[in-house]
Chain A
């Protein structure tokens, strides 16, 4: 706990911010091109995995790098950094066959939010 941020430090604090990036030793589990499915988790605690993505299948676009984990930080359980992936979900995978054929949602998923998709 720090004392109050003084007036003359405000501009610098804004310009510096507080990046959520974190170093991690563990190698990434996924890579660009991997087919993944978002896990069906329903914690009563904080999560950044929205319901409309859970259980849906998408394709990893890239590894964004390591970031502190919101789900644990919200409850004083530490940074617990994980790899975060940009994942693309086709509109029809999210919303059904009536969805626009060419549209997609992109979302950033911590590694523990996804599993490899089973072979179909």
Chain B
């Protein structure tokens, strides 16, 4: 699709910004998103092409302004919901439970 991910040749993004001594993961949630996506793929829930396309369907402004691993999280949530493996309702319920228990 002609999505925002298809960036080759676009202008206006400014300089390449590099972080000194950048860690592999910037936060624990990134570690777990990385693990979750690879393990669900290994378990055959979806293939890498499905994941990439799921990410491509992210709203453009969100794609450009969110941290990288949030793309993976968005992609996985949508695929798992579409396939009925983990629905949005289940996820919302679990989030609500965790919030009530103060485990945010």
Same complex: yes
Give the B interface residue count (CB, 8 A): 16
Give the size range of A's interface with the partner.
20 to 34
Q: Chain A at the B interface: mostly helix, strand, loop or mixed?
A: loop
**Which residue from chain B places its CB closest to the CB of A47 in the assembled complex?**
B1
- A-facing mask of B13-55, CB < 8 A → 1, else 0? 0000000000000000000000000010011110101101100
CB-defined contacts of B44 to chain A, threshold 8 Å: 1-2
Q: Is B59 an interface residue (CB 8 A)?
A: no
A75 touches B43 (CB 8 A): no
State which of A4, A51, A76 has its C-beta within 8 Å of the C-beta of B8: A51
B56 touches A (CB below 8 Å): yes
Chain B residue numbers with a CB within 8 Å of A73 are 47, 49-50
> Do the beta carbons of B50 and A74 come within 8 Å of each other?
yes
